[in-house]
């Protein structure tokens, strides 16, 4: 890794990563997982960390397993739902999620997990960078059929230049993130109720943050009412990654300061 890496296209990366982290077995699409755990985010959530992402964020806390396609274990959607429910039931959680890498890679796998969770009492948080939802309007349509999900689109920086600096990807990826919001709106999902915006602003000057808010409100004013601002988590392994790229965050929080 280094500063002179060639920019990559997140959609091309999606395709190659999908082929490494999925397989068809017994009629269902299985995906590779790193681990399952409970956690205090969202007031208590059962989480499954997936392997594989279509970005390579330089502040990513999951980078040490994110691209380790040789690690982990394949699971069917049924097994994933079963394991998440077990954790949630045991600990009295209301929420389930896939996290770690990018959950929207392996669309059929994700949609099947959502179908299974729809009949449960849990709410499923779809954490995503939005790239694939921006590239494929049918993805947003399919997500809109579920009434127990909340889609959290997490922006990597506040503009195309910051996006490229933070991810090493082509700046078109930022436009896809914005397009994800438009596709979700066009599918009838309601900002604040069904989906919302998060944004990594750990490297963003105030004026860029202000411009980003203006951009969002020009799409829909409801998008700016409750933005989840993300700062850099100063885990030692994250700081190590940042130093490789000579990136110095201006907004951080220590892992034990994280809001829950
Ligand atoms: S999108 Fe998320 S999981 Fe993927 S590299 Fe960026 S921070 Fe890590």
> Could you state, in order of their start, the residue ranges of all structural domains in the chain?
14-257
Cα 176 to ligand 1 centre (Å):
15
Out of 1.20.1250.20, 3.40.1280.10, 3.30.420.40, 3.20.20.70, select the CATH number for domain 14-257: 3.20.20.70
- The response to whether residue 55 sits with its C-beta less than 6 Å from ligand 1 reads yes
Ligand 1 pocket check for 72: Cβ under 6 Å:
no
- Per residue in 158-198, pLDDT (tens digit) is 999 999 999 999 999 999 999 999 999 999 999 999 999 99
pLDDT tens for residues 81-114? 999 999 999 999 999 999 999 999 999 999 999 9
- What is the per-residue DSSP string for 186-237? HTT--BTTTEEEEEE-TT--HHHHHHHHHHHHHH-GGGGTT-EEE-EE--HH
- Return the sign of the alpha-carbon dihedral for residues 189, 190, 192, 196: positive
User: At residue 257, does pLDDT exceed 90?
Assistant: no
Question: How many angstroms separate the alpha carbon of residue 59 from the centre of ligand 1?
Answer: 8
**Residue 194, ligand 1, Cβ within 6 A:** no
Residue 129 Cβ inside 6 Å of ligand 1? The answer reads yes
Q: Which of ligand 1's atoms lies nearest the C-alpha of 129?
A: 1
């Amino acid at each position: 890794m280094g500063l002179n890496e060639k920019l990559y296209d997140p959609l091309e990366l999606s395709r190659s990563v999908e082929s490494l982290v999925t397989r068809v077995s017994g009629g269902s699409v299985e995906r590779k997982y790193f681990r399952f755990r409970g956690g205090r985010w969202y007031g208590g959530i059962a989480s499954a960390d997936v392997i594989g992402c279509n970005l390579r964020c330089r502040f990513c806390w999951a980078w040490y397993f994110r691209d380790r396609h040789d690690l982990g274990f394949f699971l069917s959607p049924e097994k994933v739902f079963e394991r998440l429910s077990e954790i949630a039931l045991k600990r009295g959680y209301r929420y389930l999620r896939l996290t770690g890498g990018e959950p929207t890679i392996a669309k059929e796998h994700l949609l099947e997990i959502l179908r299974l969770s729809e009949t449960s009492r849990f709410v499923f948080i779809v954490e995503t960078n939005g790239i694939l939802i921006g590239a494929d309007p049918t993805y947003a349509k399919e997500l809109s059929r579920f009434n127990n999900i909340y889609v959290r689109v997490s922006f990597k920086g506040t503009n195309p230049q910051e996006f490229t600096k933070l991810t090493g990807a082509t700046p078109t990826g930022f436009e896809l993130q914005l397009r994800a919001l438009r596709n979700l709106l066009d599918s009838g999902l309601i900002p604040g109720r069904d989906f919302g915006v998060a944004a990594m602003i750990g490297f963003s000057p105030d004026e860029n943050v202000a411009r980003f808010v203006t951009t969002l409100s020009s799409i829909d004013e409801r998008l700016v009412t409750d933005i989840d601002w993300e700062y850099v988590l100063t885990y030692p392994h994250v700081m190590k990654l940042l130093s490789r790229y000579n990136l110095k965050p201006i907004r951080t929080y220590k892992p034990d300061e994280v809001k829950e």
